[in-house]
Amino acid sequence: MHRLLRRTLVILVSTVALLAPAAVARAAATKAEVLSSWTQTTAASTNAWNAARLDREPWASYQFDWSTDYCSSSPDNPLGFDFTLSCWHHDFGYRNYKDLGTFSANKSRLDSMFYADLKRKCATYSSLQQPACYSVAWTYYQAVVIFGSLEAVNPSDIDRARTQLR
């Protein structure tokens, strides 16, 4: 009996020792650190954000803004390519960095993250569809680089765009 109790305790203590550092690390991470980890250009970063999006409860204390208007005034599914999740991820970055007051310092990376997400989405389509998808993705990326936020847009660019639309 002693042997069974000892084995059970060893397994229990080992399990706690393995799980505790991860829980402590997550609890100790600041909102900015978590936000940064979810807004990198890598697939792993996007996958971590998406997992959190699907299970928000563990992240509730950070008070992230999960709202989205998807691709704003642009189509969410241009030419049938589903960009909704990429646009949501981009909105998440914009809204939360604005909330932290560090948007300008992170805008370029957020736009690059968006483009990386779009390219990963395009890679899921057939080789016949990919060129068109990549072209639309590039256009969406350029649009957010130039017009992604009025705070980041040079007023002369807005004036130039207005004259070109006339």
Write down the pTM of the prediction: 0.75
Which of 157, 29, 148, 31 minimizes the C-alpha distance to 90? Answer: 148
Reading the chain (166 residues) residue by residue, the pLDDT tens digits are: 566 655 655 555 555 555 544 444 455 699 999 999 999 999 999 999 999 999 999 999 999 999 999 999 899 999 999 999 999 999 999 999 999 999 999 999 999 999 999 999 999 999 999 999 999 999 999 999 999 876 545 556 656 766 776 6
CATH no., domain 30-165: 1.20.90.10
CA atoms within a 13 Å half-sphere pointing along the CA-CB vector of 60: 3
Which of 93, 97, 96 minimizes the C-alpha distance to 116? Answer: 93
pLDDT of 46:
98
Residue among 52, 85, 87, 90 flagged as catalytic: 90
Within 10 A of 143 (CB to CB), how many other CB atoms are there?
A: 15
| Rounded CA separation 46/39 (Å) | 7
Write down the residue that tokens 């998808």 correspond to: 133
Parse the chain into domains and list their residue ranges.
30-165
| Rounded CA separation 70/46 (Å) | 16
pLDDT of 148:
86
Residue 89 bears catalytic tag: no
Number of residues assigned to the chain: 166
Name the residue type at position 28: A
